[in-house]
Amino acid sequence: MKKIQNTYTVISNAPINTVYHRLVLDAAQLAKAVKPGQFVQVKVSDGLEPLFRRPFSIFRARDGQVEILYEPVGIGTRILTAKRKGDRLDVLGPLGRPFTMPGRRVRHIVFIGGGVGVAPFMLFSDVLKEHKAEKLLLYGGRTAAHTFSLREFNRNGVKSMIATDDGSHGVKGRVSELFGQVPLGPDTMIYACGPKPMMAAVQQFAKQNGLTGEASMEEVMACGLGACLGCSIPTVNGYRTVCHDGPVFSLEELVFRA
């Protein structure tokens, strides 16, 4: 049985722009074990507020370090911003079902990320650096401030396009405005991660064009281990836990309710 509960030391924790922060942990074991799309459950407080751990996808894992990209929006993430170099964090992980690696026949890999949902695609593009497919990232954010430099993606051979709700960066509108860029055909594989309306739009687009793909889902979680069944979402196969059956699901099996 692999040990999944560990204490890791904070190497750095700082804003990368006005919206997102990046936490870097000294976590050799985690860095080695984690696969793109998997997540960790971080205990942000030593007390009872907040009670639950907080789930985060892995942004990068290299050189014995693990990076987490997050946006302080609630009590858990706000507490996390106060962690400093040398602080220790109790972390469960890696958890959940990762993205399926694209086979050799896949010629076009399309990442579709909304907001902080773009995070797992950084690690995924690191892992897929040698894959011969053309790689495209469609990235949507509320404003220019909600996007960040995609230079690292470009360095991994990923072409990128941005849409913002207010048009302050890239195309004006939702990320679905960029769906026209997706090469249509059986050798295209879509990977999506973002807010539910975006995921529903990706699912509909994929269905209309006969494309296959996967989506990494988000839900309020307690245990992260498939024990409490608290994070279940509807799928064509009944309720499935985001933490244990997911977070990655095939686009076809997800059920989005209005």
The residues of the shown chain that bind other proteins, judged by CB under 8 A, are 1, 5, 43, 48-53, 90, 92, 219-220, 222-234, 238-239, 244
Nearer to other proteins (CB atom), residue 56 or residue 191: 56
Nearer to other proteins (CB atom), residue 180 or residue 238: 238
Smallest gap from residue 111 Cβ to other proteins (A): 26
Residue 192: its H or E element: strand 188-193
Nearer to other proteins (CB atom), residue 157 or residue 230: 230
How many angstroms from the chain centroid is the CA of residue 197?
Answer: 16
CB count in 10 Å sphere of residue 79? 17
Give the three-state DSSP class for 76: helix
Nearer to other proteins (CB atom), residue 219 or residue 253: 219
Smallest gap from residue 83 Cβ to other proteins (A): 18
Smallest gap from residue 222 Cβ to other proteins (A): 4
Q: How far apart are the first and last CA of the chain?
A: 41
Nearer to other proteins (CB atom), residue 90 or residue 253: 90
Smallest gap from residue 223 Cβ to other proteins (A): 4
CB count in 10 Å sphere of residue 61? 25
Closest of 108, 113, 73, 137 to residue 198, by C-alpha: 113
Smallest gap from residue 79 Cβ to other proteins (A): 13
Separation of alpha carbons 179 and 149, rounded Å: 21
Separation of alpha carbons 119 and 139, rounded Å: 11
